[in-house]
Each structure stands twice: as structure tokens, then as C-alpha cells.
Structure 1
Amino acid sequence: MTDVRYDRAPGDVPSEEVQAWAPSEALVYSIGLLVALVLTATSFWVANTSMLWPGGVGLGLAVLAIAQMGVHLVFFLHLTSGPDSTNNILALAFGLLIVFVVVVGTIWIVTDLNDNMLMPSSDAMNMRKQP
């Protein structure tokens, strides 16, 4: 067997040496707030400007919304790619899968109901009345 030495267990508070190199929480939250405000202001500008092609406004807003979600996940929820947040990433992926299934399933069911529940056209109704 190999002797593996761990300096700390998962969940332990890092030593003072590691904490000295980490940015403060206030700085991380301030940067996140600043980036979120810039993205929000940019989305308002995209929605109200005539400088963009009208078809590209929706795409621009979608890109800014995804970027906003990324900022919130990283700066405020502290979701990283490190080994400590593997469970959080899996929980997020599962939540996104559930939301995707619910939204796509709802659209599928409503579309199917719409196709099957259409009122017959007036021509079809007139043909049934005539003997």
C-alpha cells in the first residue's frame, strides 16, 4: 500500500497560509455585484436600442441571461469546478434536467392537445349537415 498523506480532510477550514492567498469574501461579492449590474444594464440597453438587428435582440438577451446565471453561480453560490463542489454541480445538472423535461413535456402535451382538439372548419360542418 502507498502511504498517502492528506494535509486536511474535505470540509476542514484551510490553514492560514492558504487563506492568506484567497481574496476576501467582500471582494468576491463586490466583483460579482459589479459584473451583475453591468450585465443587467447591458440587457436593458439591448432591449431598448435600435442599433441592433431586431432578430438579434432575443439572442443577445438570451446570451446575457446565461452570462448572468453564470455570474450568480460562481460569485454568489460559490460553484466551482473543484472537488469540494462535485455534489453541487451534480445537483445543479439534475435540476436542469428536471426543468428541461418539465418544459419540453409541457410543450409537447399542449401541442398534441391543440392538434387533437381543434374545432372543425365551417366547410366540414356544412358537409355533415347536408344529406
Structure 2
Amino acid sequence: MSAEPVAVHGDDANEHHGIEIPHATMRDYVTGFVLSVLLTAIPFGLVMTGALSPAVTAVTIMLFAVAQIIVHMIYFLHMTPKAEGGWSLTSLVFTIIVVFIMLAGSLWVMSHLNSNMMPMPQGMEMTPDTTNPVP
């Protein structure tokens, strides 16, 4: 009899069935943190100083927000095309497409409801026609 333990499938804590888990270094986390702070501080400074017009400031804040989402996904959530065989990134793209379709469809429906359900101008209200009674 052998005293060596026999490895049973699934006993190894590091076994992930062929799925590669990305390993982040402290440098990656610090880089992500510094970028997050900068991407927060710059729009904050723009708003507090009033350096740009309100419309340009709003667009700039939105662009910085998108950049910060990307930084968080890469540096903290480790979503890369290589992670989990690309499935996490594929599911993210699918989610973004579904959300876009829902938002665009909602805005389209609300726009058409707004144009088709507007109140009639003064004097154009429908009144019962008593001159032509329906038999």
C-alpha cells in the first residue's frame, strides 16, 4: 500500500476546468486606482471652476464616466478577451446591446406618444354634433 494521497477530480483548489483566471499585481491595482482618481477629479474640477460651458461640461463628464467604467472593468473586474475564455466580455457586449435596444425603443415609443397624444389647440375640441343625429 502506498501512503501517497490519490488526487480525485475536483480536489485541486486551483483547478478551474481550463478557465484561466487573470492574476493582478499590486501595480495593476495602483494604476487602476490612480486612473480612477484622475477620472473623478478632472470632471469635479471642471464643474467647480466653471471653465467650460454647461453643455460642453456635461459631454465631458459623460466621456470621463465612460472612461472610468472601462478602467474599472479592466483593472478591477479583470474583464479582458482572454479572461474566462472571452465569455465575460461576450456577456458584457450582449448586455450593452440589450440595454441600448431597450433605451432606444423606450425613447422612440415616448416620442411617438408625445407627438400623437398632444392636446388639441383651443377651439378645436370635439363637441357632440346635435345637427346630424345618428339613427
Pick from 10, 28, 32: which aligns with 2:18?
Answer: 10
Question: Could you say what the CA RMSD is over the residues aligned between the two structures, in angstroms?
Answer: 2.8
Q: Which has the higher contact order (CA 8 A, sep 6+)?
A: 2
Other-structure match for 1:82: 82
Number of residue-to-residue matches in the alignment: 114
Q: Does 1:119 align with 2:127?
A: no
Q: Which runs of 5+ in 1 are unaligned?
A: 1-8, 15-21
C-alpha distance in 1 between matches for 2:24 and 2:83 = 19
Displacement of 1:48 in angstroms is 2.7
Question: Over residues 28-71 of structure 1, what are the superposed CA-to-partner deviations in whole Å (9 max), with x where a residue is unaligned?
Answer: 22221121011111111122333224432122112101110110
C-alpha distance in 2 between matches for 1:63 and 1:33 = 18
Q: Which runs of 5+ in 2 are unaligned?
A: 1-16
Other-structure match for 1:71: 71
Which of 1 and 2 has greater Rg?
A: 2
Displacement of 1:11 in angstroms is 2.6
Other-structure match for 2:11: none
- What percentage of residue pairs aligned between the two structures are identical? 26
One-letter amino acid matched to 1:88: S
Displacement of 1:129 in angstroms is 8.1
C-alpha distance in 2 between matches for 1:13 and 1:95 = 22
Task: Give the alignment of 1:19-58 within 5 angstroms.
Answer: 24=25, 26-58=26-58
C-alpha distance in 1 between matches for 2:66 and 2:20 = 33
One-letter amino acid matched to 1:98: V
Displacement of 1:89 in angstroms is 1.3
C-alpha distance in 2 between matches for 1:106 and 1:55 = 24
C-alpha distance in 2 between matches for 1:124 and 1:111 = 23
Displacement of 1:13 in angstroms is 7.3
Which has the larger share of helix?
1
Displacement of 1:121 in angstroms is 0.8
One-letter amino acid matched to 2:61: L
One-letter amino acid matched to 1:66: V
CA contact (8 A) 1:43 1:61 kept: yes
